[in-house]
RNA sequence: GCCGGGGUGGCGGAAUGGCAGACGCAGCGGACUUAAAAUCCGCCGGAUUAAAAUCCGUGUGGGUUCGAAUCCCACCCCCGGCACCA
């Protein structure tokens, strides 16, 4: 009596057996090539939704495929467990962040297990546990010792809702990346990591198989521009400074400078401002301070500014140029001051018009005869009104002028970057404490290695006041200086959670290792990651930071590679009702209920089938039933006895073999190239074909059984539970997941007959079947003689014949 | 504004210079059933048509080619990213 496909019964059964047998236990096996397949680990938000499945299930399919191909595959899973939501939940519900987080870990681990992935849970990593964050702190100390971590007073991004500072990368459209609250500027003493040290290297993606999009985003984020720093003279007896610098990419326009603009926060503004202007300037600076980043950088807003009464000397022509301040000039970029060349910059042009500042043309537009400009001319041209540089093309002028300035001591070649150092201190509780002590005698000292971890006290009051909760924990804050033994204070800020995720992929290679963050030998065996999959939203956050970490570790001699992730793949997003899934919209698809009705295998396959993985797709309840029907069809195909017909012929068998081998070839290519949707449709087509063969019984039992076996092997990565069950029913040796991936025979896959499309004047008029080795002349002859074609060429002159072997014949007639 | 990606039946999508719409969903018709569900079979871009067949059809307009969804130019729309970076 054939059984029914009942995933609710077989899936838990096999998951338990695989776990009991440690089927997916991974160790360093030097006899096999290694494959490190990494999926971005989830944040411990509480519930796994279908979006998580969309990230995890297809990557598991690919990892399983690699296993069957003979690779020693590491495909680990863990939890990004520090972070604000834990603290917010604590404030809201009165649960301790640790308890909230670990409860979520429990639940999510349970849910992750239902996916049926090859995760080796012995390698699980949880970033909020002391045996992990000890090493996060250790890395901080190493970075500090290498001169890559420093503390500095600076204007920083502040989210007034989260009560915390944000790194530049975490400000999205002028708002907080978590809650969208517009960020404001605050002057605070903060810890930074010197990511700018690697600016040039981070722009390069040499040898990396990454999406163009991400590479471009990272390049733009670094924002390298070449130009010059130009000095201006301060000729004032009441001021010590003799000069001030501006950065420009257009040194060829220095003769066109008619004013300069400083950022309102520029340190010289107060000194330079004249008495008469003091009040006006002060008001403008105040207003700038209060503005959110969004208001300040909005391109919609008309630029405004204030003349501060002072003048600087433009060395190239000795002119005195007025000094303005305007909030569109940012202290954080370049030198915090720009030269104003209205004739050749759109912003300067608008600014000069508004305030009646003269416009002087120094790069002649084509056919220019000295008339006033209607708009700024920003392209290249010939230099005019520029002393002895007149007549020089502006492109050359950029170099010549800079060289001239350098000789005179009035400037130099310079490179400027948009990238800022990574701000990593956070004024919150739920993070790894920064392992630093402040001693009145010895200054700022890193905690010695043997004293790590600096444990996060469990009894801190975590009110979101904008100050570090640890500040008020006497027991935590008071310590002894290990150098001079006098009382000292601990640093009370915690680290950005992106610190934790910048090295977790190294920890997976040797979890539990006690003598360092990772076992150097095992790390060397597995790293770098061969395939990293996850969302594109981490382009200039996690992915960027991880590359920085790797390069810093390389320079410390801890790793010997330059890049952590060789191939990167970004999956798309699953949407519901044309919207992104989210709790607040109430459109979250809960995998748990799907599992009881259809099973994990159906959900896995549906997610891969719905659209190309990189594109993402819409969740559709009736769409998934198509996959459910298909898996049931396979189940029934195998559970109902196959009966060969009485008279078998060899041609039918040849066709059968050809179908099988073509399927293996197509499926292998598709799964290898991460084209899961077409891989599954190929398997569906083959299933439909097998259904017809079964009806006719046209091949011997032996061949049928062999084809079924290969079908199961090809389906095993996608539907691991069902195939394991059927594999066992057919009496094959446990487990289907330790079998070899089937191979195809090119000879058996080859077509014996080809179908040639026959066109007349480019229009399809018929098809002819011919042997594979047909000659050109024979093919053309057959085409002209075909019944369907004759009417179209009769009475006309054939002027050309195009023949593409195996594909098409095109008869051009007049 | 700039930089990516995209626009194909009722829907998700396939085909990246050679048969447009594979595969699946939905729909329609039929078989089985007392009936329904499930399953199986057939049809399923539009127009003309009894049918055969023909014509039209891949965002819009042009071009290259024997031949274009695919390549080139211009434009429109959608999605993602960046956006006073001097």
pLDDT tens sequence across A417-442: 999 999 999 988 999 999 999 999 99
Quick check: A803 CB within 7 A of strand B? no
Contact A602, A627 (CB under 8 A): yes
Nearest-5° Cα angle at A805, A803 to A809: 35
Backbone angles phi, psi at A512, to 5 degrees: 85, -5
- Separation of alpha carbons A63 and A51, rounded Å: 19
Q: Is residue A578 part of a domain?
A: no
- Here the ipTM equals 0.95
Give A632-678 pLDDT, tens digit per residue. 999 999 998 898 988 888 989 999 999 999 999 999 999 999 999 99
The pLDDT, as a whole number, for residue A93 is: 87
Share of chain A above pLDDT 90, in %: 67
A272, A398: one domain: yes
Distance of CA A457 to CAs A80, A462, A475, A491, Å? 20, 11, 9, 13
Residue closest to A117 by CA, chosen among A184, A65, A46, A47: A65
| Higher per-residue pLDDT: A443 or A90 | A443
- The whole-number Å distance from A203's CA to B61's C1' is 40
Quick check: A763 CB within 7 A of strand B? yes
Chain A 604-643 residues in 7 Å CB range of strand B: 609-612, 615, 617-618, 620, 622-623, 625-627, 629-630, 632-633
Smallest CA–C1' separation from A211, nucleotide: B4
Q: What average pLDDT does chain A have? A: 91
User: A444, A471, A497 — which closes off a domain?
Assistant: A497
Quick check: A299 CB within 7 A of strand B? yes
User: A571 CB contacts (<8 Å, ≥6 apart)?
Assistant: A54, A55, A58, A533, A534, A535, A613, A614, A616
Quick check: A355 CB within 7 A of strand B? no
pLDDT at A106 over 90: yes
- Separation of alpha carbons A715 and A690, rounded Å: 15
Residue with tokens 């992929």: A505
- Separation of alpha carbons A679 and A622, rounded Å: 21
- The whole-number Å distance from A27's CA to B13's C1' is 40
Quick check: A296 CB within 7 A of strand B? yes
pLDDT at A294 over 80: no
Residue A715's Cα: distance from chain center in Å? 29
Contact A204, A160 (CB under 8 A): no
Quick check: A696 CB within 7 A of strand B? no
- The whole-number Å distance from A220's CA to B82's C1' is 8
Identify the weakest region by mean pLDDT among A405-409, A582-586, A745-749, A772-776. Answer: A582-586
Query: Tokens at residue A327, please?
Result: 């909030």
Smallest CA–C1' separation from A617, nucleotide: B12
The arithmetic mean of pLDDT across residues A779-799, rounded, is 81
A273, A390: one domain: yes
The pLDDT, as a whole number, for residue A118 is: 97
A282, A375: one domain: yes
* CA closest to B23 C1', residue: A681
Distance of CA A179 to CAs A163, A172, A184, A414, A570, Å? 11, 10, 14, 38, 24
A405, A438: one domain: no
- Separation of alpha carbons A594 and A588, rounded Å: 12
Give A537-573 pLDDT, tens digit per residue. 888 899 999 999 999 999 999 999 999 999 999 999 8
Quick check: A472 CB within 7 A of strand B? no
Q: Can you state the angle between helices A621-639 and A676-696, rounded to 10 degrees?
A: 40
A183, A317: one domain: no
Residue A590: how many CA atoms within 13 Å on its side-chain side?
Answer: 8
Quick check: A297 CB within 7 A of strand B? yes
A236, A310: one domain: yes
DSSP secondary structure letters along A242-257: -EEEEEES-GGGGGG-
Backbone angles phi, psi at A281, to 5 degrees: -65, -45
- The whole-number Å distance from A595's CA to B12's C1' is 22
Quick check: A770 CB within 7 A of strand B? no
Q: Is residue A802 part of a domain?
A: yes
CATH number at residue A765: 3.10.20.590
> What's the residue count for chain A?
814
- Separation of alpha carbons A223 and A418, rounded Å: 5
- How buried is A314 (Cβ within 10 angstroms: 0-12 exposed, 13-18 middle, 19+ buried)? buried
The pLDDT, as a whole number, for residue A1 is: 38
A381, A234: one domain: yes
User: A156 CB contacts (<8 Å, ≥6 apart)?
Assistant: A165, A166, A185, A186, A187, A188, A190, A423
Q: Is residue A180 part of a domain?
A: yes
Q: Cα dihedral angle (A638, A642, A648, A649), rounded to 10 degrees?
A: -10
Query: Tokens at residue A318, please?
Result: 């000795």
Give A256-267 pLDDT, tens digit per residue. 999 999 999 899
pLDDT at A278 over 90: yes
Quick check: A418 CB within 7 A of strand B? yes
Q: How confident is the model at residue A443 (pLDDT cuts 50, 70, 90)?
A: very high
Q: Strand A422-423 vs strand A184-193: parallel, antiparallel, or unpaired?
A: antiparallel
Quick check: A288 CB within 7 A of strand B? no
Domain with A149, as residue range(s), is 137-194+421-497
Q: Is residue A591 part of a domain?
A: no
Chain A 226-255 residues in 7 Å CB range of strand B: 227, 247-250
pLDDT at A297 over 70: no
Residue closest to A528 by CA, chosen among A500, A561, A556: A561
| Higher per-residue pLDDT: A591 or A547 | A547
- Separation of alpha carbons A50 and A81, rounded Å: 20
Could you give the residue ranges of the DSSP H alpha helices within A130-263?
130-145, 199-203, 212-222
User: A482, A497, A512 — which closes off a domain?
Assistant: A497
Nearest-5° Cα angle at A473, A470 to A475: 125
A246, A391: one domain: yes
Contact A208, A566 (CB under 8 A): yes
Smallest CA–C1' separation from A348, nucleotide: B86
Q: What one-character DSSP code corresponds to residue A264?
A: T
A372, A483: one domain: no
Quick check: A358 CB within 7 A of strand B? no
Q: Is residue A464 part of a domain?
A: yes
Q: What one-character DSSP code corresponds to residue A483?
A: T
Q: Is residue A366 part of a domain?
A: yes
On chain B, which bases lie within 7 A of the protein's CB atoms? 3-5, 11-15, 18-20, 22-26, 38-41, 54-55, 66-68, 80-86
- The whole-number Å distance from A667's CA to B45's C1' is 29
pLDDT at A293 over 70: no
A412, A426: one domain: no
Phi-psi region of A753 (alpha: psi -120 to 50; beta: other; left: phi over 0): beta
CATH number at residue A336: 3.90.740.10
Instruction: Respond yes or no on whether the N-terminal peptide bond of residue A373 is cis (omega within 30° of 0).
Output: no
If one counts every other C-beta atom within 10 angstroms of the C-beta of residue A507, the result is 23
User: A381, A416, A451 — which closes off a domain?
Assistant: A416
If one counts every other C-beta atom within 10 angstroms of the C-beta of residue A744, the result is 17
Most trustworthy range by pLDDT among A381-395, A464-478, A706-720: A706-720
pLDDT at A74 over 50: yes
Quick one: which H or E segment has residue A456? none
Identify the weakest region by mean pLDDT among A54-63, A261-270, A288-297, A398-407. Answer: A288-297
Chain A 94-153 residues in 7 Å CB range of strand B: none
Q: How confident is the model at residue A197 (pLDDT cuts 50, 70, 90)?
A: very high
Residue with tokens 């949407």: A575
* CA closest to B15 C1', residue: A678
Quick check: A520 CB within 7 A of strand B? no
Chain A 533-562 residues in 7 Å CB range of strand B: 536-537, 539-540
Chain A 727-756 residues in 7 Å CB range of strand B: 755
- The whole-number Å distance from A36's CA to B80's C1' is 29
Nearest-5° Cα angle at A456, A455 to A458: 120
Q: Is residue A324 part of a domain?
A: yes
Could you give the residue ranges of the DSSP H alpha helices within A192-343?
199-203, 212-222, 269-272, 278-290, 293-297
Question: What percent of chain A is helix, strand and coil (3-state, nearest 5)?
Answer: 40, 20, 40
- The whole-number Å distance from A573's CA to B7's C1' is 19
Q: Is residue A616 part of a domain?
A: no
A269, A364: one domain: yes
Smallest CA–C1' separation from A300, nucleotide: B84
Contact A446, A141 (CB under 8 A): yes
Smallest CA–C1' separation from A695, nucleotide: B40
Smallest CA–C1' separation from A328, nucleotide: B84
- Separation of alpha carbons A667 and A711, rounded Å: 10
Domain count, chain A: 3
Quick check: A336 CB within 7 A of strand B? yes
A405, A430: one domain: no
Backbone angles phi, psi at A614, to 5 degrees: -70, -15
The pLDDT, as a whole number, for residue A767 is: 83
């Amino acid at each position: 009596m054939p059984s029914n496909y009942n995933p609710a019964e077989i899936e838990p059964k096999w998951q338990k057996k695989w776990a009991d047998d440690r089927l997916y236990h991974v160790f360093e096996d030097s006899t096999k090539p290694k494959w490190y397949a990494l999926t971005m680990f989830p944040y411990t938000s509480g519930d796994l939704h279908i979006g998580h499945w969309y990230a995890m299930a297809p990557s598991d399919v690919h990892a399983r495929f690699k296993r069957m191909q003979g690779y020693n595959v590491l495909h680990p899973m863990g939890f990004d467990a520090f972070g604000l939501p834990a603290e917010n939940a604590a404030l809201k519900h009165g649960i301790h962040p640790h308890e909230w987080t670990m409860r979520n870990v429990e639940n999510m681990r349970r849910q992750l297990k239902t996916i049926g992935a090859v995760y080796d849970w012995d390698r699980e990593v949880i970033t909020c546990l002391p045996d992990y964050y000890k090493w996060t702190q250790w890395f901080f100390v190493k970075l500090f010792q290498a001169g890559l971590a420093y503390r500095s007073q600076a204007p920083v991004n502040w989210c007034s809702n989260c009560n915390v500072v944000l790194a530049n990368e975490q400000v999205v459209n002028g708002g907080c990346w978590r809650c969208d609250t517009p960020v404001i500027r605050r002057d605070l003493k903060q810890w930074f990591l010197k990511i700018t040290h690697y600016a040039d290297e981070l722009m390069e993606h040499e040898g990396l198989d990454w999406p163009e999009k991400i590479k471009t985003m990272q390049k733009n984020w670094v924002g390298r521009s070449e130009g010059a720093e130009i000095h201006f003279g301060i000729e004032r007896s009441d001021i010590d400074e003799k000069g001030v610098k501006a950065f420009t990419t257009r040194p060829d326009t220095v003769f066109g400078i008619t004013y300069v603009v400083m950022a309102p926060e520029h340190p010289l503004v107060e000194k330079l401002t004249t008495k008469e202007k003091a009040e006006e300037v002060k008001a403008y600076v105040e207003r700038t301070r209060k503005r959110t980043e969004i208001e300040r950088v909005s391109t919609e807003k008309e630029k405004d500014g204030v003349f501060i009464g002072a003048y600087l000397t433009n060395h190239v022509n000795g002119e005195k140029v007025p000094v303005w301040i305007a909030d569109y000039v940012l202290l954080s970029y370049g030198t915090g001051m720009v030269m104003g060349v209205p004739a050749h910059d759109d912003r300067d042009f608008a600014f000069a018009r508004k305030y009646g500042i003269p416009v002087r043309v120094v790069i002649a537009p084509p056919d220019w005869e000295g008339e006033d400009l209607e708009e700024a001319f920003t392209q290249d041209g010939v230099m005019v009104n520029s002393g002895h540089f007149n007549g020089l093309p502006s492109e050359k002028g950029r170099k010549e002028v800079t060289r001239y300035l350098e000789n005179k001591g009035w400037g130099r070649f310079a490179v400027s970057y948009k990238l800022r150092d990574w701000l990593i201190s956070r004024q919150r509780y739920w993070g790894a404490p920064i392992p630093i002590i402040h001693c009145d005698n010895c200054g700022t000292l890193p905690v010695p290695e043997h004293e790590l971890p600096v444990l996060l006290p469990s009894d801190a009051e975590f009110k979101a006041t904008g100050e570090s909760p640890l500040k008020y924990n006497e027991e935590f804050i008071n310590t002894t200086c290990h150098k001079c033994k006098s009382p000292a204070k601990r640093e009370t800020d915690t680290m950005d959670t992106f610190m934790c995720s910048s090295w977790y992929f190294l920890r997976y290679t040797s979890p539990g290792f006690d003598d360092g963050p990772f076992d150097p030998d095992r790390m060397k065996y597995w790293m770098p990651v061969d395939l990293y999959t996850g969302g594109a939203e981490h382009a200039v956050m996690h992915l960027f930071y991880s590359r920085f970490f790797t390069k810093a570790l390389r320079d410390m001699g801890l790793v010997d590679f330059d890049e952590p992730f060789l191939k990167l793949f970004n999956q798309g997003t699953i949407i519901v009702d044309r919207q992104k899934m989210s709790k607040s919209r109430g459109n979250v698809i809960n995998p748990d209920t799907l599992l009881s009705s259809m099973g994990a295998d159906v959900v896995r396959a549906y997610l891969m089938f719905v659209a190309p993985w990189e594109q993402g797709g819409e969740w559709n309840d009736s769409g998934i039933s198509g996959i459910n029907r298909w898996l049931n069809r396979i189940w029934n195909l195998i559970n109902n006895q196959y009966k060969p017909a009485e008279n078998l012929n060899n041609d039918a068998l040849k066709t059968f073999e050809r179908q099988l081998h073509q399927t293996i070839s197509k499926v292998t290519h598709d799964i290898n190239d991460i084209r899961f949707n077409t891989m599954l449709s190929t398997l569906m087509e083959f299933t439909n074909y097998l259904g017809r063969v079964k009806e006719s019984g046209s091949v011997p039992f032996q061949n049928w059984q062999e084809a079924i076996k290969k079908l199961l092997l090809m389906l095993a990565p996608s539907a691991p539970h069902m195939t394991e069950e059927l594999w066992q029913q057919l009496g094959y040796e446990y487990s289907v997941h330790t079998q070899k991936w089937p191979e195809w025979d090119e000879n058996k896959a080859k077509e014996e007959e080809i179908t040639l499309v026959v066109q007349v004047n480019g229009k399809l008029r018929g098809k002819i079947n011919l042997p594979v080795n047909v000659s050109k002349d024979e093919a053309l002859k057959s085409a002209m003689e075909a019944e369907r074609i004759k009417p179209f060429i009769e009475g006309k002159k054939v002027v050309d014949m195009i023949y593409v072997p195996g594909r098409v014949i095109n008869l051009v007639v007049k």
